Amino acid sequence: MFISNSFALRPMNRIAGLVRLGCAQRWQSTVAVEPPPAGGHLTAVASSQLLRATRETALRTPGLTWFEEHDSGPIIGGRETRKMNLYQAVRDALSTALAKDDTAVVFGEDVAFGGVFRCTMGLAEEFGRERVFNTPLTEQGIAGFGVGIASMGHTAIAEIQFADYIFPAFDQIVNEAAKYRYRAGGQFSIGGLTIRTPTMAVGHGGLYHSQSPEGFFIGASGIKIVIPRSPLQCKGLLLASIRDPNPVLFMEPKILYRSAVEQVPVDDYTLPLSRAEILVPGTDLTLLSWGTPIYHCETALSILHSPPASLEPYVPPSLRTAKIELIDLRTILPWDVETVVESVRKTRKLVIVHEAGYTGGVGGEIAAEVQKKAFLRLEAPVKRLTGWDVPAALQYERFNMPDAIRILDGIIETLAY
């Protein structure tokens, strides 16, 4: 952090400040106020409409491709799904990869014991400890070993226990993994390398367990960065990452490991990398995010269209019918420029949401590219709603993140520009 004589942080957003002021006034009032429902007014991840709760919707996921040696086409009549949370979907993808690829190995700190988030439970017993094994506590060593074994033709699936501790491996990922094919003049490749790591805030992780470091790797040409939002997405994108001919950094939002639950196909399938998904079509504003904040965006849209009584004074009636296009970027590098720019040319306004800090965040790169390709179509400045430029908080961690209220405020400000 930097210290100066003046308070350097940006001022609190208008709605949040007004809401807190209103709360203080009501607290001091003697008028009885009916308490809010136990679940609050906001949509929870568990009840999100973005999750596919039925077999039929799961099997009709856009872009889903069945991975079979003798693919019979998109027939879904005999396909089955199973209810999974995100860590179970990771485990299912790893089991599929190990079963179908004899060269595949899974390694990292404590993975033979199931891992701290249970993503590798039972894999060592199922496939043997020569293929699923623990490593010393050395992130640089884990990434370096992955580069080496992938260069020998193996499918290397490494785990960095927390994304917060990926920085010791930065040199191996950026200077070795990303540059390997280029350095070899295309003769050799380590495309079989996938590095999994839990990322984003968990609510109480503090400085070393709640960071979102994807922006640090955005300039590393030669690697891909993928962040899924749900179990079904996670399994398909992880299998696609493992089979992609490039090294992939696969970052899993840790708070979703247990809170995101949906129906997931039990068969082997992939979802396309570097292709964003339009979750909610719209014409008045593009709302772009990835990972956990997707659900905060969904909640913000719900409040915009139907605000609770406490927020009604701050949501102009004329904006409540606005049609917002919600997009999940999914692949952060290389990102889907075409889909995002096409949406912005249609809606003429863009709001980007991510948990990482404002300065140096991925949102800045996206904003620059959109303004380059759609400048004359824009009717408002590109809005970035991010974590504050401070370390992840030890207390009140969620105030550091762009929550539904901050997102709502940004949407209203951009719509009214």
Q: Angle at Cα 224 formed by Cα 213 and Cα 381, nearest 5°?
A: 65
Residues 181 and 283 in one domain: no
Q: Do 354 and 409 sit in the same domain of this protein?
A: yes
Instruction: Provide the CATH number for the domain around residue 287.
Output: 3.40.50.920
Give me the pLDDT at residue 75, please: 56
| 8 A C-beta contact, residue 349 and residue 286 | yes
Asked if residue 234 and residue 127 are part of one domain, the reply reads yes
Pair (216, 355) in one structural domain: no
Residue 213 domain-assigned (yes or no): yes
Would you say residue 20 lies in a domain?
Answer: no
Q: Calculate what percentage of the chain has a pLDDT beyond 90.
A: 82
341-355: burial string, b at 16+ Cβ within 10 Å, e else: bebbeebebbbbbbb
Residue 305 is a catalytic residue: no
Has residue 324 been placed in a domain?
A: yes
The catalytically annotated residue of 109, 154, 159, 209 is 209
Nearest to 417, CA basis, from 301, 312, 285: 285
The residue among 242, 270, 298 that closes a domain is 270
In this structure, are 311 and 412 located in the same domain?
yes
Q: What is the CATH number of the domain that holds 90?
A: 3.40.50.970
Is residue 401 classed as helix, strand or coil in its secondary structure?
Answer: coil
Last residue of a domain, one of 215, 246, 270: 270
Sequence-distant (≥ 6) Cβ neighbours of residue 288 within 8 angstroms: 276, 327, 329, 340, 350, 351, 352, 353, 366
Is the same domain home to 244 and 333? no
What pLDDT is attached to residue 39?
A: 40
pLDDT tens by residue, 76-107 = 668 999 999 999 999 999 999 999 999 999 99
pLDDT at site 40 = 43
Please indicate, yes or no, whether residues 380 and 328 belong to a single structural domain of this protein.
yes
H and E: helices and strands count for the chain? 13, 16
Examine the domain organization and report whether 290 and 253 are in the same domain.
Answer: no
- Express each pLDDT in 201-245 by its tens digit: 988 888 899 999 999 999 999 999 999 999 999 999 999 999 999
Overall number of domains in the chain:
2
* Cβ proximity of 277 and 327 under 8 Å: yes
Count of C-beta atoms within a 10 Å radius of residue 317: 8
Active-site residue 342, yes or no? no
CB-based contacts of 409: which residues, under 8 Å, 6+ apart?
A: 13, 14, 15, 16
Candidate list 139, 252, 262, 355, residue with the active-site label: 139
Query: Distance (Å, rounded) from C-alpha 113 to C-alpha 83?
Result: 24
CA 17 to chain centre: 28
Structural domain for 55, as ranges = 44-270
Q: Where a domain ends, among 270, 299, 316? A: 270
Task: Say if 75 falls within a structural domain.
Answer: yes
pLDDT of residue 70 exceeding 70, the answer is: no
- What are the φ/ψ torsions at residue 362 (nearest 5 degrees)? -60, -30
Interhelix angle 362-374/337-347, nearest 10 degrees: 60
pLDDT of residue 38: 42
